[in-house]
């Protein structure tokens, strides 16, 4: 029987490595349950999680990314108060920091559908629908995972980066939506390894000083629940 209940956990402002370790524990618990079910002919329910967090300044490089896309050495990373990690998701390099809404769905996709491509498109759609409520027309860009504005024009810019890991139809890592993000930190990388595209944020696009992050979360969660036909349970 499919479990479409998702436990939502607000982590607040939390170190990336601590959050990564927490993700790994939840991810492994799902994997262990699935392995035991198959080996022991059991039918124990697997859990689903959605973590919401803001990180201190950090750059992360996906397993197939190019370290040359980080344009700083260790000393300069320290000067700007940022850390750097090579991690086990797909995608290249990205930045996380204050004012950015990061969502990590740790789902057993066998509870929903077994299609990674569809999963990524669903995540993109959740963000597109969220931005639409602010009057922003966001889009997919063919061959480039994430959410973009003005695709196909010289002004194309990315507002949400995505990168996931999946094993045994279980996911981790996720998406990062720039809300009130200091975009200057993107100047120190080649974002997602794409040299000719800019980045943007919700507050830049709206021309407002500060967008309430809690408001954006609420809208995103509404669309996540509807798109995945899930039941969100809040651990706030």
161 labelled ligand-binding? yes
Q: Where are the domains of the chain?
A: 5-235
pLDDT given for residue 205 in this prediction: 98
Q: Are 4 and 111 in contact (CB under 8 A)?
A: yes
Query: Which of 120, 172, 192, 216 is labelled catalytic?
Result: 192
176 annotated as ligand-binding: yes
User: Residue 197 contacts by C-beta under 8 Å, 6 or more apart in sequence?
Assistant: 148, 156, 157, 158, 191
> Is 160 in the active site?
no
Joined together, the tokens standing for residue 188 give 């120190």
pLDDT tens digits, one per residue of 101-138: 999 999 999 999 999 999 999 999 999 999 999 999 99
Q: Which residues contact 77 (CB under 8 A, 6 or more apart)?
A: 59, 83, 84
- Residue 188 known to bind ligand: no
The pLDDT value recorded for residue 194 is 57
pLDDT value, residue 74 = 86
- Summarised one tens digit per residue, pLDDT across range 32-64 is 999 999 999 999 999 999 999 999 999 999 888
DSSP states of 11-54 as a string? EEE--HHHHHHHHHHHHHHHHHHHHHHHHTT--PPPP-EEEEEE
Query: 93 labelled as ligand-binding?
Result: yes
- pTM of the full structure: 0.94
Assign a CATH topology to domain 5-235: BirA Bifunctional Protein; domain 2 (3.30.930)
Q: Is 104 annotated as a binding residue?
A: no
Q: Is 91 annotated as a binding residue?
A: yes
Average pLDDT value over all residues in the chain = 94
């Amino acid at each position: 029987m499919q479990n479409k209940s998702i436990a939502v956990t607000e982590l607040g402002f939390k170190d990336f490595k601590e959050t990564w370790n927490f993700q790994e524990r939840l991810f492994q618990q799902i994997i262990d349950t699935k392995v035991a079910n198959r080996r022991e002919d059991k039918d124990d329910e697997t859990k689903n999680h959605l973590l919401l967090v803001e990180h201190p300044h950090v750059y992360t490089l996906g397993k197939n990314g190019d370290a040359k896309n980080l344009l700083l050495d260790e000393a300069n990373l320290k000067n700007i108060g940022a850390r750097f990690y090579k991690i086990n998701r797909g995608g290249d390099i990205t930045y996380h920091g204050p004012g950015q809404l990061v969502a990590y769905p740790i789902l057993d996709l066998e509870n929903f559908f077994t299609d990674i491509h569809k999963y990524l498109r669903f995540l993109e759609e959740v963000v597109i629908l969220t931005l639409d409520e602010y009057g922003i027309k966001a889009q997919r860009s063919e061959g480039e995972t994430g959410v973009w504005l003005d695709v196909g024009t010289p002004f194309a810019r990315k507002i949400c980066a995505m990168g996931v890991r999946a094993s045994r139809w279980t996911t981790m890592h996720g998406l990062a939506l720039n809300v009130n993000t200091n975009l200057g930190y993107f100047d120190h990388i080649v974002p997602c390894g794409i040299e000719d595209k800019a980045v943007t944020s919700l507050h830049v696009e709206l021309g407002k000083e500060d967008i309430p992050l809690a408001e954006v979360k609420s809208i995103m969660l509404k669309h996540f629940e509807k798109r995945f036909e899930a039941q969100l349970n809040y651990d706030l």
